[in-house]
């Protein structure tokens, strides 16, 4: 194993863990689901009637941390896209939940549509350094109450990679599970081959809404891999200190982990904290270098628990595809990668995850390729040291035609597709395109040339029937709400 970037010492990791255990035991969390409160109490937790919080003793936490698998396979619709999750491999996926699409020509944004979900999903499917599909944007032209269901359906149609998602409600989670189950041949087959990964966020500070808590139970009962995503805001919904924010997000993660393991011992879990910062000058989220520091530290905490990590990487506050976007994404993404992250999130988004861009997705695939090459490090062995060939060639020689060069060049040197390395005259003859122009050109080519294995006709009809049913249910719910 290569040496890794360490932000925290072992004693500091243990201090964060012990502080987390202390808060769980003495303060607890506000858990608004009666069924989940009962689940925790039956396991040995207690309820503070004054604070209305559930306090979890250390023994329950420590026992749960013995149950999750440290490695597993993340399944995909096509087997060649399955991902082995272990301590040595690093992958990437887009950010999730953008509302807008950026038009790179005008610099203006508009609401995302089903067509945008389709286009972005196809680009994700075609991108070699983006390994899992996420809900990069929501299908804004579908019924609002079931927009998440329609978005996942469009993703499942347009990628053969594993699909990560969040759900608006416990009921919508059930709709999404039914969609995925139909594709793999039923709910029992989905338990064996979960082609979807569920993500859920506790509310900072220290709260689990009824819907979130119930979704944790439902996802674990179907054996879906679960990504637990605490998202505290340092100085806003968590302490201003980075260490304090790490403690709080760890507390919020641990209680969710306990719930998942109580429901289905051995259920795969990702440690997915999104500890962010607030810029006190504006009150807005700041995609600052401290974001990368906390992400790298979170990777170390995940490794301490032997849980695969999924952290924010390619983050930026920039509103356009510019130098700010590049430097923030590269800087924030590189730190957790060097710390040993299993997944880097953030591809495809600008404006702190509010706005998505097809061109940025393609550029981020390039940035990820560079980050992965750095994380790979330098292989040192008798062959790569090349002492024999250096001795044979001697002074004044070159290595252009050497067999050693032919054998190792492509594996030792990352060859970017978007970065221009030509002389100026050649660049000008190629219409002087910048990286955004080249990304747009590549996106167009991928959408034209890349094909995704389609679902068969009967399955398409079944998915459409399920979506129609979800729409009717949403309409009925909306009518009942209006009547009251």
Mean pLDDT computed over 325-352 = 96
Q: What pLDDT does residue 475 have?
A: 85
Mean pLDDT computed over 113-129 = 97
pLDDT class of 285 with cuts at 50, 70, 90: confident
Terminus-to-terminus CA distance in the chain, angstroms?
61
Query: Could you identify the residue written with the tokens 């340092």?
Result: 234
Task: Share the mean pLDDT of the chain.
Answer: 95
Q: Examine the pLDDT at 484 and tell me if it is beyond 70.
A: no
Angle ∠(288,318,430) on CA atoms, nearest 5: 125
pLDDT class of 50 with cuts at 50, 70, 90: confident
Q: What pLDDT does residue 449 have?
A: 97
Number of H helices, E strands in the chain: 18, 20
pLDDT class of 49 with cuts at 50, 70, 90: confident
Q: Examine the pLDDT at 192 and tell me if it is beyond 90.
A: yes
Q: Boundaries of CATH 3.20.20.480 in the chain? A: 72-376
pLDDT class of 284 with cuts at 50, 70, 90: confident
| Lookup: tokens for 384 | 């790569």
Angle ∠(171,172,178) on CA atoms, nearest 5: 95
Write the CB contacts of 460 (distance below 8 Å, at least 6 apart in sequence). 157
Q: What is the pLDDT of residues 375-392, one digit of tens each?
A: 999 999 999 999 999 999
Q: Are 100 and 111 in contact (CB under 8 A)?
A: yes
Q: Give the CATH architecture of domain 72-376.
A: Alpha-Beta Barrel (3.20)
The helix or strand, by DSSP H or E, that contains position 227, with its residue range, turns out to be strand 226-228
Q: What is the pLDDT of residues 100-115, one digit of tens each?
A: 999 877 889 999 999 9
Q: What is the pLDDT of residues 222-264, one digit of tens each?
A: 999 999 999 999 999 999 999 999 999 999 999 999 999 999 9
Q: What is the pLDDT of residues 398-443, one digit of tens each?
A: 999 999 999 999 999 999 999 999 999 999 999 999 999 999 999 9
pLDDT class of 126 with cuts at 50, 70, 90: very high
Write the CB contacts of 195 (distance below 8 Å, at least 6 apart in sequence). 75, 76, 77, 156, 162, 163, 180, 183, 184
User: Percent of the chain beyond pLDDT 70?
Assistant: 98
Q: Write phi, then psi, for 36 (nearest 5 degrees).
A: -75, -35
Q: Examine the pLDDT at 481 and tell me if it is beyond 80.
A: no
Q: Examine the pLDDT at 48 and tell me if it is beyond 70.
A: yes
DSSP string, 267-290: --EEE----EEEETTTTEEE--HH
pLDDT class of 314 with cuts at 50, 70, 90: very high
Mean pLDDT computed over 318-335 = 95
Q: What pLDDT does residue 465 have?
A: 97
DSSP string, 356-425: E-HHHHHHHHHHHHHHHHHHH----SHHHH-HHHHHHH-TT---TT-HHHHHHHHHHS---SSS--S-HH
Q: Examine the pLDDT at 483 and tell me if it is beyond 80.
A: no
Q: How far apart are CA 433 and CA 420, in angstroms?
A: 9
Q: How far apart are CA 427 and CA 430, in angstroms?
A: 5
Q: What pLDDT does residue 2 have?
A: 64
User: Percent of the chain beyond pLDDT 90?
Assistant: 92
pTM value is 0.94
Q: What is the 3-state secondary structure (H, E, C) of 124-178?
A: HHHCCCCCCECCCECCCCCCHHHHHHHHHHHHHHHCCCCEEECCCCHHHHHHHHH
Q: What pLDDT does residue 35 have?
A: 96
- Distances from the Cα of 149 to the Cαs of 135, 182, 284, in angstroms? 11, 14, 29
Q: What pLDDT does residue 480 have?
A: 66
Burial of 425 (0-12, 13-18, 19+ CB in 10 A): exposed
Mean pLDDT computed over 43-65 = 95
CB under 8 A, 24+ apart: contacts of 17-20: 17/250, 17/301, 17/304, 19/247, 20/247, 20/250, 20/251, 20/254
Q: What is the pLDDT of residues 433-467, one digit of tens each?
A: 999 999 999 999 999 999 999 999 999 999 999 99
Q: What pLDDT does residue 234 have?
A: 94
Q: How far apart are CA 376 and CA 244, in angstroms?
A: 32
């Amino acid at each position: 194993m290569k040496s890794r970037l360490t932000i925290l010492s072992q004693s500091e990791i243990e201090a964060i863990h012990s502080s987390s255990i202390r808060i769980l035991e003495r303060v607890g969390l506000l858990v608004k689901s009666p069924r989940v409160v009962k689940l925790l109490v039956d396991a040995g937790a207690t309820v503070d009637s004054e604070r209305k919080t559930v306090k979890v003793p250390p023994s329950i936490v420590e026992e749960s941390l013995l149950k999750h698998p440290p490695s597993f396979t993340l399944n995909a619709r096509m087997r060649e896209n399955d991902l082995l999750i272990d301590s040595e491999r690093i992958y990437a996926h887009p950010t999730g939940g953008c509302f807008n699409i950026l038009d790179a020509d005008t610099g203006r944004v508009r609401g995302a549509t089903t067509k945008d979900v389709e286009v972005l999903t196809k680009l994700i499917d075609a991108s070699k350094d983006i390994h899992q599909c996420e809900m990069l944007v929501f299908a804004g032209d579908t019924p609002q109450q079931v927009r998440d269901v329609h978005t996942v359906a469009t993703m499942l149609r347009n990628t053969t990679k594993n699909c990560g998602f969040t759900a608006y409600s416990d009921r919508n989670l059930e709709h999404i599970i039914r969609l995925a189950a139909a594709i793999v041949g039923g709910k029992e087959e989905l338990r064996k081959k979960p082609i979807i990964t569920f993500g859920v966020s506790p509310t900072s500070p220290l709260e689990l809404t009824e819907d979130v808590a119930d979704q944790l139970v439902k996802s674990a009962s179907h054996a879906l891999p679960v990504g637990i995503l605490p998202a505290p805001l340092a100085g806003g919904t968590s302490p201003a200190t980075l260490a304090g924010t790490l403690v709080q997000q760890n507390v919020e993660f641990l209680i969710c982990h306990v719930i998942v393991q109580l429901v289905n011992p051995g259920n795969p879990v990702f440690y997915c904290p999104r500890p962010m910062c607030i810029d006190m000058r504006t009150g807005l989220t700041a995609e600052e270098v401290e974001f990368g520091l906390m992400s790298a530290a979170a990777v170390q905490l995940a490794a301490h628990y032997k849980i695969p990590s999924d952290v924010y990487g390619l983050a930026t506050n920039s509103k356009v595809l510019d130098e700010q976007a590049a430097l923030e994404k590269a800087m924030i993404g590189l730190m957790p990668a060097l710390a040993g992250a299993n997944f880097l999130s953030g591809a495809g988004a600008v404006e702190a995850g509010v706005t998505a861009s097809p061109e940025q997705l393609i550029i981020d695939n390039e940035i990820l390729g560079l980050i992965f090459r750095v994380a790979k490090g330098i292989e040192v062995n008798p062959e790569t040291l090349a002492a024999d060939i250096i001795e044979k060639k001697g002074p004044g020689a070159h290595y252009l035609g050497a067999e050693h060069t032919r054998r190792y060049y492509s594996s030792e040197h990352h060859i970017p597709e978007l970065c221009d390395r030509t002389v100026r005259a050649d660049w000008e003859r190629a219409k002087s395109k910048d990286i955004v122009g080249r990304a747009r050109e590549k996106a167009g080519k991928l959408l034209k040339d890349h094909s995704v294995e389609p679902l068969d006709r009967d399955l398409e009809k079944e998915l459409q029937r399920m979506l129609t049913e979800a729409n009717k249910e949403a309409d009925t719910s909306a009518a009942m709400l209006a009547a009251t």
